[in-house]
Chain A
């Protein structure tokens, strides 16, 4: 356990500035969104905004469109805005490619030349992914809390803590899912650049598959393949409970990919 603790501490120490900056930016983004929502609310412009949206977009979004164009909807947007999702997935990809980077730079040679089992390296990466995910989501929740308590009217129609929690849990599982997929890809690659590029393209393709699947009926038949399909912010904003199926699927992908990462890392040659 001392070894694992040393490995986790060393990895977190290396990425602390990056994580700190990402956390502050994401928290700040939540505050900015709340300021914006408050401003729209104060000027009673939600109805005007709704009229500006083209009818096909309303059709695509369905009833969630109404829920989205509220104070609560804008606040929750901070948990599924493409910029936020892009940033979180990028952080996941960056952290999950650390093992392949350590192989590429030769750093891991001096670790594995000691009595350190290979599975500790993967376990370390899983723990770093977990800690980072929890930290970033906590920072977002803190941003939301600060924004609501300091910059929003009390009667603006705040989202409930349960809704924010559900969004965070669902988003957190999505992040872990991509961490696991990237970790498995990294364990099969020799270069961090290759692992990052493959994972990034895969995430983009999956995001677009889900996006197109939501807007275009024929594409729906393949959209279930995308992990993003199981992140359901609109349904949550609409008042649905967090879907157990979504959690199981995302959790299942994460567990499966982490298991694959263990297998690949234990069998591979450590050569740079």
Chain B
């Protein structure tokens, strides 16, 4: 039974290309209003999953639904709620930006508010002159901006974005993050794949890490960060010898006469008592990065 309350509901989804299993019994649910990061190395199965959601690919088994509408049997209704940005934009270089936006509006079947479109165009700093130029004259970044505008222009309930900030300069990335925040505030759901981990950490509520077509990590961003070990640098007033036994979850990385560098996995609650009897001069804790966790999952999944 597909859940109508979820924006995306995937059950036992499998896609095989001959002997190659691109997506392997994938289960996933994305709630309404959530910004969901879909992560993994190249070839992990992210794009295949996205293309099944859009009914571009047909699953070998399992099912996927968007707002309760099955992506195969009821795909028109499922797709009517979606705005999509592909990883690679297939556009005709002899068309202008205006022509392509109008064409996508007409085939989209939804009326696009000219004010909303104007707002998007302004956010991404495309002028009327830019949009009147042939796409062959566009830079990669400009094509990306056009892709984002077409994905957002009908104000869809669900945005499926494949590598949205690729080729965007830092200023435009900021504009995109603001746009994403606006969409989230208006209750829109975002399902995005990205290789830019700081970006994921910044904008996503939850993440799924895919490896060889399987979900190897499904967590909130905060929860994933907690899985990371933190580095603790302790500087002493005098030379201090390393104790024979370290508390559980502690690992000594580097020892200098007056400095230790420790890797602490888990919570830091035991740190004060561990250091209480030692002549500590200074203490620095490096914030755990999502990147550290994800890289580990990427590596483990690739093996």
Contact = CB atoms under 8 A, between A and B. Distances in A.
Interface of A: 2-3, 6-7, 10, 14, 102, 105-117, 267, 269-272
B220 to A, nearest CB: 28
B57 interface: yes
Nearest to B53: A113
A112 B84 CA distance: 10
Contacts of A267: 58
A144 B16 CA distance: 56
B91 A113 contact: no
B60 to A, nearest CB: 11
Nearest to A106: B90
B89 interface: yes
A78 B249 CA distance: 88
Contacts of A107: 90-92
22 contacts: A3-B106, A14-B92, A106-B86, A106-B88, A108-B90, A109-B51, A109-B54, A109-B56, A110-B86, A110-B104, A113-B54, A114-B80, A114-B109, A115-B76, A115-B79, A115-B109, A116-B79, A116-B109, A117-B76, A270-B51, A270-B57, A271-B51
A9 to B, nearest CB: 9
A113 B82 contact: yes
Interface string B30-60: 0000000000000000000001001111100
Nearest to B87: A106
Interface residues of B, number: 27
A114 B107 contact: yes
A111 to B, nearest CB: 5
Contacts of B89: 106, 110
Interface of B: 51, 54-58, 76-77, 79-80, 82, 84, 86, 88-92, 94, 103-104, 106-109, 150, 160
A114 B90 contact: no
B90 A105 contact: yes
B84 A110 contact: yes
B58 A269 contact: yes
A151 B84 CA distance: 58
A2 B106 contact: yes
A230 B82 CA distance: 48
A107 B91 CA distance: 5
A14 B100 CA distance: 12
A3 B92 contact: no
A26 B109 CA distance: 39
B257 to A, nearest CB: 60
Contacts of B109: 2-3, 114-116
A269 B57 contact: yes
A271 B79 contact: no
Given A113-B56, A269-B56, A270-B56, A7 B91 contact: no
Contact of A6 (B79, B82, B90, B103): B103
Contacts of A7: 107
A109 B83 CA distance: 12
A272 B109 CA distance: 25
A112 B90 contact: no
B62 to A, nearest CB: 15
Given A106-B89, A107-B91, A116-B109, 20 more contacts: A2-B106, A3-B106, A3-B107, A6-B106, A14-B94, A109-B54, A109-B56, A110-B84, A110-B90, A110-B104, A112-B56, A113-B56, A113-B84, A114-B79, A114-B80, A114-B82, A114-B107, A115-B79, A115-B80, A116-B107
B89 to A, nearest CB: 7
Given A14-B94, A271-B51, A109 B86 contact: yes
Contacts of B104: 110, 114
B30 to A, nearest CB: 17
B56 A271 contact: yes
Contacts of B57: 269-271
A158 B140 CA distance: 59
A111 B108 CA distance: 8
A9 B190 CA distance: 32
Residue in A106, A113, A267 with the greatest tally of chain B CB atoms within 10 Å? A113
Nearest to A113: B84
A26 B79 CA distance: 44
A264 to B, nearest CB: 13
A102 to B, nearest CB: 7
A7 B55 CA distance: 19
